[in-house]
Copies of this chain bind each other. A is one copy, B any other.
């Protein structure tokens, strides 16, 4: 078994697989080390919303990255299907950001003005227009921002397609392989020790989401990544209920997937790696979802699940090189935006490692040593 690579990527989720894909397309010799199965954590549990403009409410590096990443999806969808036969199920039917009360409506109204700078197709819908578009919504809702270009994908398919496309270009995938420690000599990373022996390589990327802090701590660097559990459930109506993604004040979203399921998410339980779904979580989701769309009360139940999302102290991911261990990189902490930001993160990190990244301005906001400024 080959044990020497140009780049070792720790973590087989959306971020790691996206980086591997970009690097192997450049001809780099890459290995992905995944302690369980590919995409077995947050990357599969996500709802897959590409909520660039519905979720991020102010300009800045994260917002700019989100816009850039969202723009990559149409091409990516064809490209990955070509290489792997996997369909990422890109849907561009738009998103509604619901204003449940008149009070929220005035806030959302301002958002419309702001977001239209970036996408003039965004509009405000009053109650009447809203019910014309989505007749199943509760008539008690005041209105909504309509974002026709915020869509969604099938997150597990996206992750798997990235990994298979990486494999197509030569990436080696090793599942059930846990990294125990990182090898380091004279200021330079030399490889990793795994549950299956040593692997050599002078570039190592830690892309282990909510589990990233532990491995970095061994290198003497504290990054403030912490877990936030999100519980979800889904129904599968036999008749069409909603067409667009419904997004309400970050506390509840409804995503109509291409197989006919509607995903309903998600709770936020901070500082736990515990993945159990609880009656409390499910009851709160049902309450919120049926306030938005009352007829979901009668929709056929499908399943429940949860995921552990990597939040950070200041809400921005960590992307960059270790300040003193040359060759050690982190790409983690994308919280609820891992699917949306996966493509651009893969591109930026690959360019960074290949020394092709001319403009590092965008990444400067995500550097690894900013923890001292953060307040959790």
Interface set of A (CB-CB < 8 Å, partner B)? 37-38, 81, 83-87, 89, 91, 93, 154, 156-157, 160-161, 163-164, 167-168, 173, 175-178, 180, 195-196, 211, 214, 233, 235, 238-240, 243, 256, 258-260, 272-280, 282-283, 286-287, 289-290, 296-301, 304
CA distance A154 to B283 in the complex (A): 27
Contact of A283 with B283 in the complex, beta carbons under 8 Å: yes
17 interchain pairs (CB within 8 A)? A37-B276, A84-B240, A85-B256, A85-B260, A86-B260, A87-B91, A160-B259, A168-B240, A175-B274, A176-B272, A176-B273, A176-B274, A277-B300, A277-B301, A279-B301, A280-B290, A280-B297
Contact of A164 with B296 in the complex, beta carbons under 8 Å: no
CA distance A163 to B176 in the complex (A): 27
Copies per complex of this chain: 4
Contact of B301 with A160 in the complex, beta carbons under 8 Å: no
CA distance A296 to B83 in the complex (A): 19
Min Cβ gap A330→B in Å is: 17
Minimum CB distance partner of A90 in chain B: B87
The answer, among B93, B168, B276, B296, for a CB contact under 8 Å with A301, is B276
A297 / chain B contacts, CB cutoff of 8 Å: 278-280
Contact of A283 with B275 in the complex, beta carbons under 8 Å: no
A239 / chain B contacts, CB cutoff of 8 Å: 164, 167-168, 173
A173 / chain B contacts, CB cutoff of 8 Å: 238-239
A260 / chain B contacts, CB cutoff of 8 Å: 84-86, 157, 160-161, 164
Min Cβ gap A268→B in Å is: 16
Contact of B278 with A154 in the complex, beta carbons under 8 Å: no
Min Cβ gap A262→B in Å is: 10
Contact of A85 with B93 in the complex, beta carbons under 8 Å: yes
CA distance A356 to B330 in the complex (A): 50
Minimum CB distance partner of A217 in chain B: B180
CA distance A282 to B287 in the complex (A): 11
Contact of B238 with A275 in the complex, beta carbons under 8 Å: no
Minimum CB distance partner of A89 in chain B: B87
User: 9 more A-B contacts (CB under 8 A) besides A173-B238, A277-B301, A283-B290?
Assistant: A85-B93, A85-B260, A167-B239, A167-B240, A177-B273, A178-B273, A195-B211, A278-B299, A280-B298
A256 / chain B contacts, CB cutoff of 8 Å: 85
CA distance A240 to B86 in the complex (A): 9
A282 / chain B contacts, CB cutoff of 8 Å: 282, 286, 301
